Amino acid sequence: MRRIPLSRRSHIVGFQPLPTGITEHESALERDFVTKVSWENADVQITSQPVTIRFRDGAVSRRYTPDFLLHRSAAIDELIEVKYQADLRANHFRLAPAFAAAQAWASEHATVFRVVTEVEIRGPGLHNARRLLPLRSAPVDPCLADCAMSAVRELAAPTIAQLLARLPGDRPAALATLWRLIARGALRVDLTAAITLDTVILGT
């Protein structure tokens, strides 16, 4: 069981069920990190608090537990610490020896250590991940899907609005189909920007 220490920040303790297993988080930023990484890497395995590293800080014996270990089938493993930038600045001297120990541990285990902040985690990409991740395995109307894919091949870089105009039936069902095709990767859009009716379909 993961032990959640008290801190000056509010904790949002919870679990995220993912296709590769259940991952625990202890803060809103950790939750958002798990959501974003899970969306960007469908096969990622995320282990919460995977290892406790013991090290010497001068004459003092200390230990440090990073937040996550990411394992992907086609990439090097990553040991991750999730921190707000304000915390990094306020606690730089205390955190630096722990991060150095994590770097050393990662080098010994063919892993990369990385500190991730809200700057990398939050933004349009996270908003899209929240919206699309639950739709990745949602059922798709096959007729509307075929019509959408055919329309994309016929039109030159259509917007979502233009694509909607080509689909039969009611607009909510058509829009739901497009969202699910985007979530599955069948329709490609710029996922680093907000998705609107003016979003361009980049291809299939």
Shared domain check, 117 and 27: yes
Domain of residue 37, residue span: 14-122
Model pTM?
Answer: 0.84
Q: Which amino acid is at 37?
A: V
Question: Of 81, 101, 122, which one is at a domain's C-terminal end?
Answer: 122
pLDDT at position 182 over 60: yes
> Residue 116's closest CA among 80, 163, 164, 67?
80
Shared domain check, 69 and 139: no
Confirm whether 110 is domain-assigned: yes
Question: Of 99, 122, 145, which one is at a domain's C-terminal end?
Answer: 122
Shared domain check, 170 and 79: no
pLDDT at position 10 over 90: no
Q: What is the mean pLDDT of the chain?
A: 90
Token pair belonging to 60: 């003092």
d(CA 137, CA 153): 24
Beta strands in 39-179 (DSSP E): 45-48, 53-57, 60-64, 68-72, 75-82, 111-116
List, for residues 49-62, the tens digit of each pLDDT value.
999 999 999 999 99
Range of weakest confidence among 16-30, 69-83, 108-122: 16-30
pLDDT at position 191 over 90: yes
Confirm whether 196 is domain-assigned: no
Q: Structural domain tally of the chain?
A: 2
Give the pLDDT of residue 165: 94
d(CA 140, CA 177): 6
Q: Is beta strand 111-116 parallel, antiparallel or unpaired with respect to 60-64?
A: unpaired
Shared domain check, 94 and 22: yes
